[in-house]
Structure 1
Amino acid sequence: MFKYLKNIFVLIFICFAIWMLFFDANSLIIHSELNSEISDLEDQKVYYGNEIIKDKKAIKQLSTDEGIEKMAREKYYMKKENEDIYIIEYEDSLKLETQDD
């Protein structure tokens, strides 16, 4: 084994391999970081694609008068004249404040 290490070509190859794996600007470590970043960006792309689909559905619903009225009633609690609104909140849907003594 030591006779191979005395060969200048083997030594140069080992030095080159170590340099390329750890110290170069395109090293294995940097490639793994870039691959993880690419994976994160692809996940974000899928998430935002789904958000775009949901927003398009909401825009389509709001393009009609019935859709606007439904959103105004449900989200902003608006009402027509001569109409009463009763908001029923269940105990498990309330945000209860905890007191620290």
Structure 2
Amino acid sequence: MKKITSIITNKYLLAGGFFVVWMLFFDQRDFFQQRERNAELKKLEAKKKYYLDEIEKTKQELQDIQSNPAALEKFARERYLMKKEGEDIFIIEDSVAPKNQ
């Protein structure tokens, strides 16, 4: 029993325990805040990867449009609804009425 109380009242053990508790709960950069920041960092890195992929796709599309007249025509017809002389375009919109409660 005396050995257990001497271990518990050891000043180095008490200081180490106090330090661990302080760093886990009370410090400016505590454990829980670090976990939240790491999760946010992972989300931001995923967004960064998505946007870099989209930039790469757009650059490829731009290069294709600049070098291929058929791709330019396809782009103009799809995006800006351009048409040839004597041609009719039919636009079909898929609209869903909002639910009123």
Report the TM-score, using the length of structure 1 for normalisation. 0.75
Which residue does 2:54 correspond to in 1? Answer: 51
Which residue does 1:95 correspond to in 2? Answer: 95
1:26-53 Cα offsets, whole Å, 9 max, x none, are 3212221221122112111210121012
In structure 2, C-alpha distance between the alignment counterparts of 1:10 and 1:98, rounded to whole Å? 64
Structure 1 17/88 Cα, relative in aligned 2: closer, same or farther at 3 Å?
A: closer
For structure 2, the 5+ residue unaligned runs are: none
For structure 1, the 5+ residue unaligned runs are: none
Aligned Cα RMSD in Å?
Answer: 2.4
What is the aligned length?
A: 97
Runs of 4+ in structure 1 over 6 Å off: none
Which residue does 1:15 correspond to in 2? Answer: 18
Which residue does 1:79 correspond to in 2? Answer: 83
- In the TM superposition, 1:25-64 aligns within 5 A as 25-63=28-66, 64=68
- SS of 1:80's partner is coil
**Identity over aligned residues, as a percent?**
33
Report the TM-score, using the length of structure 2 for normalisation. 0.75
